[in-house]
Amino acid sequence: MRLIEPSPQWRDAFLEMARDWRSVGDQRYAPAVLNFEGYLRRLDNHRRGEQLPPDRVPSTEFWLEEGGVLLAGLRLRFRLNQELEREGGHIGYDVRPSARRRGYGTQLLALGLVEARARGISPVLLTADADNVGSIRIIEKNGGVLAEEVISVQTLKPIRRYWIQG
pLDDT tens for residues 82-122? 999 999 999 999 999 999 999 999 999 999 999 999 999 99
User: What's the rounded Cα separation, in Å, for the pair 148 and 42?
Assistant: 33
Q: Tell me which architecture the domain covering 2-121 has in CATH.
A: 3-Layer(aba) Sandwich (3.40)
What is the bridge-based pairing of β-strands 69-77 and 59-66?
antiparallel
Structural domain boundaries of the chain?
Answer: 2-121
pTM value is 0.93
**What element of type H or E holds 112?**
helix 104-118
pLDDT tens for residues 22-65? 999 999 999 999 999 999 999 999 999 999 988 899 999 999 99
Residues 6+ apart with CB under 8 A from 134: 100, 101, 105
